[in-house]
A and B are shown apart, each in its own frame.
Chain A
Amino acid sequence: MSQARKPAERYGTTTVRPADFDAFWAAIMAEVGEIPLNPTMEHVPMRSTDEVDVYEIHYDSLDHVRIAGWYCVPKESYLPPPYPALLIVPGYISEPALPKSWAKMGYAAVGVAPRGKLRSNRQFNPGYPGLLMHNVVDRYTYSYRGFYVDAARAVDFVLTRPEVDTSRIGVHGSSQGGALTITTSALRSDVIKVGAAGAPYLCGFMDAAHLTHSWPYEEINDYLRLYPERAEAVRATYHYFDGINFAPMIKCPMLVYVGLADDVCPPETGYALYNAMTCPKEIHAYPCCAHDSGIYWEMPKVEAWLAAQLKPAAYMRHAEPTVG
């Protein structure tokens, strides 16, 4: 058994919120706001079904990097518009979701592929491992500066869609997808109505690297073993990208779920994130669960949590109790 630890909720964090954190991100969002979205959609008949149309989408993001995604939308013959929108944001090594199953529930669902992911890696491709440490000593060029914006920029894509009810937009993902759920909800708190973040990554970076030897945080340990003199520069950059520091910016209801034996994204950091949130919130913790974060039991709760706010037609039809 690994080294004994205090209960996760009592760990705290060494993350510090820089005084100019809000200004740093406001400047970045203003910068990307000057870049035309240039959205395109291409129907993909092979992936479409009788219920759902699938499109490959592209849009421009920070540094004029072209970002790809999947857009899955109910066919009008299956469900009439308008639809709530749901962004499904990807894990660190996982492929961006093709979220047909969410569209079948009644969502206009986007599977986001931030820069460096397949189909969004022509202009930026630090690789895996690599993304976590790319330009880590400089917050102005650190990989996640653009990566976070690419996910948030998907909101602008759904705002262009006439079939979307723009008062009902949510975001969901696990691991790095959990991190992107937090950052997107924070950076687009004007429009995001609900979020569900599993096993949130990119929270308490340095605490996590101390607590685990699993990938991807082990990339930090590798890097600092080779370049110990850069530790303070690395730490300083991470403060600007830490989900814990985005947490107070979130306004919508947020569900967080963690595995209390998660060796990839330590539960201590999930609690530090949760404790920093000031929005309506819930946390579900699963003993003996690791990076799965109890998804076997949690997924129905996630679907219900999102549906309570976003009211997708097919899910609500399914979920409403029948009488008689």
Chain B
Amino acid sequence: MGERPADFDAYWDEVDTELARYPLAVEMERNVLRCTDFSTVSNVRLTSIGPYRIFGYYSVPVGDGPFPGLLVAPRYGSVNHVPHHDDRERYATLTLMHRGQRLADQPFAASYPGLLTLGIDSPTTSIYRSIVADCLRGAEFLLSRPEVDGSHVSIIGDDLALITAARRPQFTAVQAGGLLFYRLLEAAGRSSAYPVEEINDYLRTYPEQRENVARTLAYFDPINHANRVTARALLVTGDAGAINGPEWLAPLADALGGPVEQYHVTHEGATDHDWQDAWMARQLGGVPKPRLWEVIA
């Protein structure tokens, strides 16, 4: 595990300070194509550090609010979906595109593979410094909305969800799975699957950078943020003995600063979805929306 750098807090405080220099500069534009009789969807543009304009789809249920809020943190890839029908019915939902992803890809378009190691030799040049800032900005937007019930706001995603929850303690709950930055150098020694393989590619090419890479990754490893995560957390865990298995995640679970639950995946996608959806609904005061259906003869 990456040791917590001595200047860890100062590093992230500086990101917050830099972010605070820029107003959100919100542009909201009704997305007529995605609006339904039960939800209004808007295209949202915000300013993050750089300065850089990022994008989100923001969906609000029709009716009298306030509504529970849900921030869907960006995945590792160029595309994030519009909020799902089931979430649009229940929550004020923001799906965010960080810089480089489609709809936030001008002037910077991310490469896949490639994004993970962009600027990785130093914590000050890593693209993830800015990507985390983008997520924090998305959180600030959602938490500032008058139609959102500030006592019921959750975030869902990978490491970016955990880091955002650590830096913005107003979140009620955080659901995290498929962690990428957690023990990443160790994971790279055990996996040749992308995107983890990007680290192996990089270190094969630049072996002399190993110490620098390790130092950079320590700023993004969620274990070093964990004590600041006070929201109720759900960690989604894989098979015993595997990367993201329960033993692998145990140090993180122990370090989290709030109540922690773990869900061990069955690998039946609908079963796993429905359990996690119900968990999130409980945190937000929503109604579970299972996707399994009854089969009749």
Contact = CB atoms under 8 A, between A and B. Distances in A.
Interface of A: 1-8, 45-47, 49, 93-95, 97-98, 100-101, 118, 127-129, 213-215, 218, 222-223, 225-226, 259-263, 286-294, 296-297
A53 to B, nearest CB: 13
Nearest to A293: B269
B263 to A, nearest CB: 15
Nearest to A50: B204
23 contacts: A6-B297, A46-B204, A47-B113, A95-B77, A98-B113, A101-B192, A118-B112, A129-B81, A213-B84, A213-B85, A215-B81, A215-B84, A218-B82, A218-B85, A261-B269, A261-B293, A286-B268, A288-B268, A288-B270, A289-B267, A290-B270, A290-B273, A292-B269
A81 to B, nearest CB: 22
Contact of B293 (A1, A223, A292): A1
Contact of B34 (A4, A222, A293): A222
Given A98-B194, A222-B33, A259-B270, A7 B295 contact: yes
B271 A288 contact: yes
A1 B296 CA distance: 13
B86 interface: yes
Contact of A289 (B194, B201, B269): B269
Contacts of B36: 225
A46 B201 contact: yes
B290 A2 contact: yes
Given A128-B102, A261-B270, A93 B201 contact: no
Interface of B: 32-34, 36, 77-79, 81-82, 84-86, 102-103, 109, 111-113, 192-194, 197, 201-202, 204-205, 266-271, 273, 290-297
Contacts of A294: 267-268
A261 B85 contact: no
A127 B111 CA distance: 16
Contacts of A7: 295, 297
A294 B293 CA distance: 17
Given A261-B269, A290-B273, A215 B296 contact: no
A93 B81 contact: yes
A116 to B, nearest CB: 10
> 3 tightest A-B contacts by CB?
A290-B269, A261-B270, A292-B269
Contact of A2 (B78, B204, B267, B293): B293
A1 B290 contact: yes
Contacts of B193: 101
Contacts of B33: 222-223, 226
A312 B201 CA distance: 24
Nearest to A70: B113
Contacts of A293: 269
Contacts of A262: 269-270
Question: Which residue, A6, A213, A226, A287, has most C-beta atoms of chain B within 10 A?
Answer: A213
A268 to B, nearest CB: 11
